[in-house]
Amino acid sequence: MSVPLYEAKAELFRLLGHPVRIRVLELLQDGPTSVRELLAAIEVEPTGLSQHLAVLRRSSMVTAQREGNTMVYALAGGRVAELLRAARVLLTEKLTGQNELLSELLADEANSGVS
Amino acid sequence: MSVPLYEAKAELFRLLGHPVRIRVLELLQDGPTSVRELLAAIEVEPTGLSQHLAVLRRSSMVTAQREGNTMVYALAGGRVAELLRAARVLLTEKLTGQNELLSELLADEANSGVS
DNA sequence: ATCGTAATTGCGAAAATGCGCAATTGCATT
DNA sequence: AATGCAATTGCGCATTTTCGCAATTACGAT
């Protein structure tokens, strides 16, 4: 293969690695959405949103379609949603883990009277 | 929550978005691995590997443990592997899709004689 | 044909990322 | 304590990424 798989993976993750792009993909999970709706939902300048949408388009993660005067974007495939779900699982697990650790630390502290 | 979940997601993906780091995580899936082994497997300078390992450590994706004179790294949790698997599925699907498209285009070309 | 709204693109400045060198730390051996 | 190996850190430089402004394209309405 001309491009090693791990390079492609890294690129995929890199493209996902921006808050606005994540936000867009999350919103598109609820169905096709116009740029105006995205703009209303995501705190970002129109020009910035366009650039991020272009990134997602170039990597074929979303599709764009004209509808009269407005552009409607949609997820290109269901697999992206799986990635987002996996990330959410990992993060929630990590956060609850931290909370548990914090609880334990606080309990220990209370017991031993560490300053 | 002080940090929105989508920010955390973006950060997670951003941290995964480098070939060396992907490579490290893939190697660690086969079990704990010393830095020397990683160096032998990954074409990268020692200093560069250290920096990428530091990134993975800071984000708690891997754990480091001294073993005599060498450092042994391991995956911090099983969830990272799920993310990598999801990415692989997405990419293979995308690549086979492209191949199918290419085949169709070639077939059409042969039929219509497009130059 | 002109105007107005929607969305995108080009471009330069600012910020973040990655890289390699030199210096440092940690541990084992002598 | 001095030497050697393993790994990391500090730091400057080059590259990449991101952002906002101005200009442009695309379409519908007048």
Domains in chain B: boundaries: 1-76, 78-115
Mean pLDDT of chain B: 90
Q: What is the mean pLDDT of residues B68-77?
A: 95
Q: Please say whether the structural domain B1-76 has been given the CATH code 3.30.70.20.
A: no
Say yes or no for a CB contact (<8 Å) between A83 and B86: yes
Q: What is the fold of A1-77?
A: Arc Repressor Mutant, subunit A (1.10.10)
Strand blocks (E) in chain A: 33-34, 62-67, 70-75
B78 contact A CB<8A: no
Distance (Å) from the C-alpha of residue B11 to the closest C-alpha of chain A? Answer: 6
A21 contact B CB<8A: yes
Task: Give the tens place of pLDDT for each residue, A26-81.
Answer: 999 999 999 999 999 999 999 999 999 999 999 999 999 999 999 999 999 889 99
The whole-angstrom separation of Cα B39 and Cα B89 is 27
Contacts of A70 (CB under 8 A, 6+ apart): A34, A35, A36
